[in-house]
Structure 1
Amino acid sequence: MYNMAAPKCVLVSFALILICEISSSERNTRDFLKREHTLVKPYQATSTNNPTWDFIGSTILTSNYIRLTSDHQSRQGAIWNSVPCRVRNWELHVQFNVHGSGKNLFGDGFAIWYTKHRLQLGPVFGSMDYFVGLAIFLDTYSNHNGPHNHQHPYVSAMINNGSLHYDHDRDGTHTALEGCEAQFRNKPHDTFIAIRYHGTTLKVSLDIDGKNSWKECFTAHGVYLPQGYFFGASAATGDLADNHDIISMKLYEIDSPGDTAQEYYGLPKAENVEPPREHVDDHRNTVSGWKIFFVIILVLLGIGVCGVVGYVIFMKSQENSRKRLY
């Protein structure tokens, strides 16, 4: 006789095994979350209650977000992890929200950092220039500067050994590693960026379309970053402004079985980054120069015409005076 209980037992056993495997997988995923480098709700306003993160500048904490800058001019704010990262291969997920009242003019943007120094406000999206480490810039400045062919908002990376200047007047195009256009501002849904560093490969992906999936922004090979640097985020406003909010920052250690690569101890570097280029006057400056030239020419012509007319009138008056004398 056919035993109906046997198939049921097999199905139940298979289901139990599957559930155990899924649970184990979830536990392993959570185990790789590095809590000392992670910032999630609920936020704490004091360093005593939140010992691994420091806040500086215009940063304010609410129950739902950390606002680096509000939608007001001339603000700088930042958050910095106080624990140096000793993880060799990692992936940082940042949930953010950039929004404001500006329709056509807004700025300036924010940056995510993995750098040697921290807690220093400055001109580069609210943090220091000539930094040592990695910066990911999310530039929203709508009236963009410099001779380049991309639109804003724009996401780009920069590797610095402390000797390079970030040229805000040219949107950093002279020192950029890679980048992509990304319309992440004023979205009605959650927006995320993932920064993955594995071996010597840096990959940046975005989830800004509300589809709950990553879309690659760029991948750069030959990137060398030492361990022991700090994660942070900063933002700045100038004449233009926006709200720059951080909702969460989560760092995951990437499991790499068989990884035998040696730890890198030198200064940060990238093999494939273009060398700094000479400043080139952009098209707008050239047009402005020609406009000024033509204005000067028109003014001179006007003065000449006025002089000729005045001379003719003067000669006519002299001629009339001579006629009256006769």
Structure 2
Amino acid sequence: MFKGARILIALIICILLWSAVSYCISFFSSPSDSKVSKQVQLDTIFNDAQINGLLNNEMPNLLKVNKNLLEDFSISKPWTFDQIAEKFHIRGASTMIARDKIRLVRDSPQQVGLIQSTKQLEISKYESTSLEIDFNINFDDDAKKRLSKKLYGDGVGIWLSENELHSGAALGIDDTTFKGVAVLIDTYQNSPSASKLGKFPRVSIQYSQGGGYIYDKGQDGKSNYELGYCNLNLKYLNSPSKMRITYLKDSGYISLDFGAKKNGMPGSEWFNCFTKEGVVLPEKVYLALSSECGALHHNSDILGIEWNALTDEHGDVLSSISDLSNILNDEYIEEYVQNESENEVKERIAKQRHRRLTKDKRPETEASERRKTAQRLRKAEERLRRQHRENNLNKYGYESRLTYFLQTVWSLLKWTFIIISFLLVGFILYNRIRKLKKKTGGFIV
């Protein structure tokens, strides 16, 4: 009797130990809460322009990024004609080189301008890159009148092309052999479908894998080749501005930002125009910048080009946005959110000071602004918790690890009870049969 009980207890202990080991393996092999939390925060706290700012080392406390200048494709003023000619072919008939700008076209009818890099950039070698271009689309006279009556055209193109490009009708480019990605700033509306295209200037992101690509000028780039678009505010005309193209080869991440002049610095305030993953650039690309104008016209000036290869502080390639969550500095994330909230409050209060007081609408106090900010942060925290629950649901089948643990314990207890019950029934039957055999001399009657 005692021997059977010892065996039963040993079996129960083995079952419990096996279940505990299985749970520990599952628990510790799963992604840690901090990594999940950082991924959620990256998606929740930062918008696309801010994520590109992280990639471009604008927030080094959060993420340290090395920007390695690609000299063969970068120019900064003042420059000489020979310095430009060493790095770029000057192919447009209207292109002029000054010490402080490259004027692709001047404010005069029927102009075509084009420059193209003399070398190709090896995308396979520099897998993560950021291209920044300072530009100025401006006018020689009466800019206010021409802006209000839309007396200007046609636009500027930035081309990352596998093939060499020559002058043509697609914003200054012969595009029939184009293969790659182009950012086209269309300043004049040709299409009658104004409501579908939005306000102009209109930025169209075009993607061609070859095979007779033609820019549809009549539809202002709206075609099967268009990856996406955005509409620019008029503040990007007649004032120095900046664009930024960020590309990560491994994930095919490409994102386009524009920055207007603020506090005297072009590009000091970015907004995101377009972001997409899965875009494959050719292994090697030329950089070309073009412009065209017809009966309507404007100056198209390039004020600087800076192309950088991006790596993390250890020199490793930044392969995808999701990987950033693993290398963000946790210590500064909460501080960043708090600072952003305080800045938001100050900006709103400053705007309110310029408004006229009325009985119907009074300026909000700093306390009420803080309440709004607190509400926004609570909503962000709720999004974090909801995403965390979804991650746990996908991983464990339950919304929280505590629930998973309690359910596991309950399952262990339930199955232990069932097994013990079967063993007890079997043990009782075994003893009854043995006693019957003794009484009947080995026969069961």
Q: Quick check: TM above 0.5?
A: yes
Give the counterpart letter for 1:72 in structure 2: S
Distance in structure 1 (CA, Å) of the matches to 2:87 and 2:303? 16
2:226 alignment partner, SS class:
coil
2:168 to 106, 111, 122: 122
Q: Alpha-carbon deviation of 1:81?
A: 0.9
Trace 1:1-326 onto structure 2 (pairs within 5 A): 32-46=68-82, 50-57=85-92, 58-86=94-122, 87-100=126-139, 101=141, 102-103=146-147, 104=149, 105-130=151-176, 131-142=178-189, 144-146=191-193, 148-163=196-211, 164-174=213-223, 175-184=225-234, 187=237, 189-199=239-249, 200-210=252-262, 212-255=268-311, 257=316
Larger Rg: 2
Query: Relative to 1, partners in 2 of residues 1:114 and 1:260: Cα closer, same or farther, differing over 3 Å?
Result: closer
Change (3 A) 1:65 1:162: same
Contact preservation (8 Å) 2:153, 2:297: yes
Relative to the length of structure 1, the TM-score reads: 0.66
Q: CA deviation at 1:189?
A: 4.4
Alignment correspondent of 2:4: none
Q: Bigger CA drift: 198-207 or 160-169?
A: 160-169
Kindly indicate whether the alpha-carbon contact (under 8 Å) linking 2:175 and 2:214 is maintained by their aligned counterparts in 1: yes
| 1:178 maps to amino acid | G
User: Matched residues in 1 for 2:130 and 2:107: separation?
Assistant: 30
Q: Which letter does structure 2 place at the counterpart of 1:134?
A: V
Partners in 2 of 1:30 and 1:66 — Cα distance? 28
Q: Which amino acid aligns with 2:72?
A: E
Distance 1:255 1:156 in 2: 29
- Structure 2 distance, partners of 1:97, 1:206, is 12
| TM-score between the two structures when normalised by the length of structure 2 | 0.49
Q: How far does residue 50 in structure 1 lie from its aligned partner after superposition?
A: 3.9
Indicate the structure with greater helix content. Answer: 2
Q: Secondary structure at the match of 1:213?
A: strand
Aligned residues: 235
Q: Which has the higher contact order (CA 8 A, sep 6+)?
A: 1
Matched letter for residue 157 of structure 2:
A
Residues 162, 186 of structure 1: alpha-carbon distance in 2 compared, 3 angstrom cutoff: same
Q: Assess if the C-alpha contact under 8 Å between 1:146 and 1:171 holds in 2.
A: no
Q: Kindly indicate whether the alpha-carbon contact (under 8 Å) linking 2:248 and 2:318 is maintained by their aligned counterparts in 1.
A: no
SS at match of 1:254: strand
Percent identical pairs in the alignment equals: 25
Contact kept in structure 2, 1:37 and 1:251, CA below 8 Å: yes
Residue number in structure 2 paired with 1:300: none
User: Which 10-residue stretch deviates more, 143-152 or 51-60?
Assistant: 143-152
In structure 1, distance between residues paired with 2:233 and 2:154: 14
Mapped contact 2:128–2:318 kept (Cα < 8 A): no
Extract unaligned runs of 5+ from structure 1: 1-21, 262-326
Shift of 1:117: 2.2
Q: Which residue does the alignment assign to 2:7? A: none
> In 2 relative to 1, CA 254–166 (structure 1 residues): closer, same or farther, beyond 3 Å?
same
Change in CA separation of 1:260 and 1:218 when aligned onto 2, cut-off 3 Å: closer
